[in-house]
């Protein structure tokens, strides 16, 4: 079964290189990599060509939801992964997430644990102190263990696996949240509303540098974006998604 791995990317070519290299090393399952270049001015295109990825290049940065949706439209797989370009995967990452997703038809979205994220997917104590130490541990991580699966109310879109069938049923990301923030909360709500479960594959851990593009632009503009998208979510669904983090 083919899995399409969709990676939106903007001006982080070296990070993208590390991400794709880790996928090649630790993903024996049939897969394709689709990079959506959001108007990068660095050597992102060269990285895509070097790894022979399928890729789309926008002339300007159109934001995370639009980039994800462009990749989803190009994807050929029956299983779909949305993956940030600042994630470095490890042994069994995709296998374990696939096992969790396919274990039950009611499992709609599956995500891993990580070191940097909001909410319950964050591991408080990681077995390494630096990225270099993580790289040394990659090959020995993620022993399959279905007893560690956890149902949750919210997953973060840095690494998210789902079926094409689900996408066909509920649609793609809401592009009104562009350039980003709360589109993954919105998608999680729609998945739950359609009667599916959100699952953490508790036997899966990946490294996440964490929101590099947005951290570079912390400003009043970003605060306005967060406030706007939060209000959009509340207007659509009638509650504050931050309650799910607090709970």
Domain boundaries, the chain: 3-246
Q: Is the pTM of this model over 0.85?
A: yes
Residue 117, burial from CB neighbour count under 10 angstroms (0-12, 13-18, 19+): buried
**Per-residue pLDDT at 27:** 98
Partners of 200 in the beta sheet? 111, 150
pLDDT at 145 over 80: yes
**Per-residue pLDDT at 246:** 78
H/E segment holding residue 38: strand 31-38
Which pLDDT tens digit goes with each residue over 55-73? 999 999 999 999 999 999 9
Which pLDDT tens digit goes with each residue over 209-224? 986 554 555 578 889 9
If phi > 0 it is left, if psi is from -120 to 50 it is alpha, else beta; for residue 244 that is alpha
**Per-residue pLDDT at 211:** 63
**Per-residue pLDDT at 233:** 97
CA distance 182 to 22: 27
**Per-residue pLDDT at 141:** 96
**Per-residue pLDDT at 219:** 79
**Per-residue pLDDT at 212:** 53
Q: What is the mean pLDDT of residues 4-22?
A: 97
Pick the residue with more confidence: 86 or 221? 86
**Per-residue pLDDT at 247:** 72
Share of the chain above pLDDT 90, in %: 91
Does the 3-246 domain belong in CATH 3.90.550.10?
Answer: yes
Dihedral angle sign, alpha carbons of residues 173, 177, 179, 182: negative
When the pLDDT of each residue in the chain is averaged and rounded to a whole number, the result is 95
Which pLDDT tens digit goes with each residue over 174-196? 999 999 999 999 999 999 999 99
Q: What is the mean pLDDT of residues 95-106?
A: 98
DSSP at 166: H
**Per-residue pLDDT at 221:** 86
pLDDT at 146 over 70: yes
> Cβ distance 158 to 81 under 8 Å?
no
């Amino acid at each position: 079964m083919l899995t399409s791995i969709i990676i939106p990317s903007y001006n982080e070519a070296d990070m993208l290189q590390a991400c794709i290299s880790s996928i090649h090393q630790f993903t024996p399952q049939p897969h394709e990599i689709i990079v959506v270049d959001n108007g990068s001015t660095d050597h992102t295109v060269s990285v895509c060509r070097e790894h022979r990825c399928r890729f789309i290049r926008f002339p300007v940065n159109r934001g995370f939801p639009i980039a994800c949706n462009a990749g989803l439209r190009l994807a050929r797989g029956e299983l779909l992964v949305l993956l940030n370009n600042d994630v470095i995967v490890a042994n069994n990452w995709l296998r374990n997430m696939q096992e969790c997703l396919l274990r039950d038809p009611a499992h709609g979205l599956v995500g891993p644990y990580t070191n940097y994220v909001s909410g319950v997917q964050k591991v408080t104590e990681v077995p390494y102190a630096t990225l270099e130490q993580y790289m040394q541990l990659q090959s020995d991580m993620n022993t399959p263990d279905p007893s560690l699966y956890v149902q949750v109310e919210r997953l973060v879109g840095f690494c998210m696996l789902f079926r094409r069938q689900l996408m066909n049923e509920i649609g793609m990301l809401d592009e009104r949240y562009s350039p980003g923030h709360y589109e993954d909360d919105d998608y999680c709500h729609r998945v739950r509303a359609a009667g599916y479960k959100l699952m953490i594959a508790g036997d899966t851990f990946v490294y996440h540098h964490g929101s590099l593009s947005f951290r570079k632009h912390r400003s009043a503009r970003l605060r306005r974006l967060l406030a706007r998208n939060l209000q959009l979510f509340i207007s659509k669904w009638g509650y504050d998604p931050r309650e799910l983090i607090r709970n």
